[in-house]
């Protein structure tokens, strides 16, 4: 057991090949770092059964499912009905990740926007939070999310937030959450840290996006849920809080947004 404060990795990809044959050791290291919950993200719905199986086999793991924007043009278009049906699983706690990525896949932006709106409606109908990936698409992202929110409210987290301050402000105005990844711990990421510092601390989550974006001192290596503690320590510095207080705040934030995970944990 560990005496470290409890913390949640709100976004990781434990089904990726990087963890093949190493999941038990990975989870043991996470527990030693105080990580009591993880949300593993399905990015292609054809992989949902294998992602679901990981969550079913491990008490600390929950999952979310959707079509990643970079795969929107290659994967079959999902439907609201399909996402709502998947969401009935007791450990399925979020819709996505979905969103817009114009950095690598701008040529499919029209398809991405259709997919995003389908995921939004599924989030509305299920009451589960939307998990958003956004890269080089700030204007369209703000326009779509604002328009859709006016049509009917839904919860949302801007995962791995590294866009500009304007989009952050617009998302916070909608009562959405910003998630801090290892990017915020990179030495040259002062602008990202400043964006978080300007946000209400009760709207902040922490994540790894493992196996990507490992924070120092692991940068350049495979990321894993245990390392969310390193990012959270940077978050504590950003908000001028001690680590235990910041960890507790992010726990409360996670449980407010991902309330299904909280209810499931209480029932376990």
pLDDT digits (tens, 9 = 90+) for 181-201: 999 999 999 999 999 999 999
Whether residue 268 is predicted with pLDDT greater than 60 in this model: the reply is no
Whether residue 1 is predicted with pLDDT greater than 90 in this model: the reply is no
> How confident is residue 3, by pLDDT bands cut at 50, 70 and 90?
confident
Do the domain assignments include residue 68? yes
Do the domain assignments include residue 74? yes
Angle at 231 between CA 230 and CA 232, to 5 degrees: 90
> How confident is residue 63, by pLDDT bands cut at 50, 70 and 90?
very high
- Strand 156-158 and strand 35-42: the pairing is unpaired
- Number of structural domains in the chain: 1
> How confident is residue 265, by pLDDT bands cut at 50, 70 and 90?
low
Average pLDDT over residues 62-87: 98
Whether residue 6 is predicted with pLDDT greater than 90 in this model: the reply is yes
Average pLDDT over residues 95-100: 98
The pTM for the full model equals 0.96
Average pLDDT over residues 217-239: 97
pLDDT at 263: 61
Can you give the residue range of the structural domain that contains 262? 7-267
Do the domain assignments include residue 79? yes
pLDDT mean across residues, the chain: 96
195 upstream amide cis, omega within 30 of 0? no
Do the domain assignments include residue 1? no
The alpha carbon of 246 is separated from its chain's Cα centroid by a whole number of angstroms, namely 18
Do the domain assignments include residue 2? no
Average pLDDT over residues 128-151: 98
Domain containing 254 — which CATH number?
3.20.20.140
Q: Percentage of residues in the chain with pLDDT exceeding 70?
A: 97
Average pLDDT over residues 208-226: 97
Do the domain assignments include residue 151? yes
């Amino acid at each position: 057991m560990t005496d470290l404060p409890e913390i949640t990795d709100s976004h990781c990809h434990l089904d990726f090949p990087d963890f093949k044959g190493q999941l038990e050791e990975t989870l043991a290291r996470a527990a030693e770092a105080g990580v009591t919950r993880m949300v593993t993200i399905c990015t292609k719905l054809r992989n949902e059964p294998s992602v679901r199986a990981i969550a079913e086999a491990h008490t600390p793991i929950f999952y979310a499912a959707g079509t990643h924007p970079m795969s929107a043009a290659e994967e079959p278009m999902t439907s609201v009905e399909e996402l709502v049906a998947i969401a009935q699983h007791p450990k399925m706690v979020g819709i996505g990740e979905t969103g817009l990525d114009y950095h690598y896949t701008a040529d499919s932006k029209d398809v991405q926007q259709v997919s995003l709106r389908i995921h939004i409606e599924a989030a509305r109908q299920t009451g589960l939070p939307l998990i958003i990936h956004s890269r080089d698409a700030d204007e369209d992202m703000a326009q779509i999310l604002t328009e859709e929110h006016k049509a009917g409210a839904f919860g949302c987290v801007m995962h791995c937030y590294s866009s500009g301050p304007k989009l952050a402000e617009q998302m916070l105005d909608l009562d959405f959450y910003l998630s801090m990844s290892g990017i915020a711990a990179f030495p040259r990421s002062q602008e990202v840290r400043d964006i978080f510092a300007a946000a209400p601390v009760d709207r902040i989550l922490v994540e790894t996006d493992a196996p990507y974006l490992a924070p120092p001192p692991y940068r350049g290596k495979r990321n894993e849920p245990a390392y969310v503690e390193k990012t959270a320590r940077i978050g504590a510095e950003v908000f001028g809080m001690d680590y235990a207080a910041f960890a507790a705040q992010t726990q409360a934030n996670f449980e407010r947004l991902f309330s299904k995970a909280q209810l499931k944990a209480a029932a376990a």
